[in-house]
Structure 1
C-alpha cells in the first residue's frame, strides 16, 4: 500500500495513473495530498524530481519542504543528466540522489541554498565542495534509480544529514563519521522521523518502508 506500506489481498489502484496502489479507500484518500502532485501515467522516459528553491537558513521555515516543488523531467537531454552530481552521503544510505545546481552550472543564477549544500556534502569529511558553498542557487534533485522522489523523503534525508552534522567528525578519539553512513542507521532515523511527523499532524507522513520510500 502506498500509504500504510502494508501488504494486503485487497488492492485499489489510482484510477488516473494506475501506478499507486492502496489497501483501502481510506488509505487512498489519506494519501491523496502526497500522490496528487505526481499523479501521472507512468512513462519510462520521464522522472519526477524536486526543485529546491533558494533558501538562507532552512530552519526559518516551519518545515524544509516549504522550499520544495515537484518537477517532472520529461527531456532526456536535461542538464541534470549530464551536469548533475551524485550525492555521496545519500548514495551510502541507499537513496541514490543526483543534484543539479543552477549556481554551479549557470554562474548568473546564484542564491543561497543551505538544503542543497547539505545534500551535497562529502562522505569523508562532511563538507560540500567549495563551489557548492558559494551560492548554488535553485537546485534540482532526482533519484538515480528514477523512482519518484517525494517531498517527505527528501525532507527526511535532509534532516538526517543535518542531524549527523552534530557528530564531532574531526575530533580525535571519535569513531569515523562515515561509519554512520549506512542503510541501518538511516532507516532507523527515517522510521522515527516519519512517526514524529505523523504524530505532529502531518498526514502526508505515515509508516516508513525502505522497500517503498
Structure 2
C-alpha cells in the first residue's frame, strides 16, 4: 500500500472494498467519492490516490462514529486545521471534511466529506442553486459499492482542476451519457459562466 505524507501525518488510503465493509452497516446513504468514484464508474484502475473520500449527507454525520467505532476522527475546522471530533458533537455548517484513522500512531485511512441536503434533494455546497433528487446522485458498482455519480464528482473537481482532475475528466468523458454531459455543462455554466471542459462535453 502506498503511503502519502501529509501535513498532519501519513496517508495510507483504505480501498473502496474496505470502506464498504465498514460503512455498509449504516442506516443511511453514503458514496465513494473523489478519484475512486471515477474508477468505479469506468470499472478499472486509472491512477494512484493520496486518499479516499466518502461522501455523506450532513444530517447523517453522527453515523460516521457508528461505522468507525474506536477510530480517531478529526474535523477540518477551519479548513486546513484539524481538531478532534467527539462522537456526540454536531459539526457546524462550515466543516465539510473529516479525517479518520484507526489509532493515533497509524496513518490516516478515510476522509469523509459532508454534503448538504434539503428534504429529498441533494444541494451542492458550492452553489445551493444546483440540486438533484437524492435518488439520482449515486450509482452502484457491480461489486455493490455505492459511488457518487461521475458528473457530480466532476463538478466538484472543476473549480480549479489539477492534473489528476483533468486525467479523471478525460477518462470518464467517453462513458458519460448525453444526460450526464448536459447536466455537468449546465452546472458549470451556472457556477462559473464558462469552463474549459464545456467544449469537450459538447462533442
What band does the TM-score fall into relative to the shorter chain?
Answer: under 0.3
Relative to the length of structure 2, the TM-score reads 0.25
Larger radius of gyration: 1
Greater strand fraction, Structure 1 or Structure 2? 2
Relative to the length of structure 1, the TM-score reads 0.24
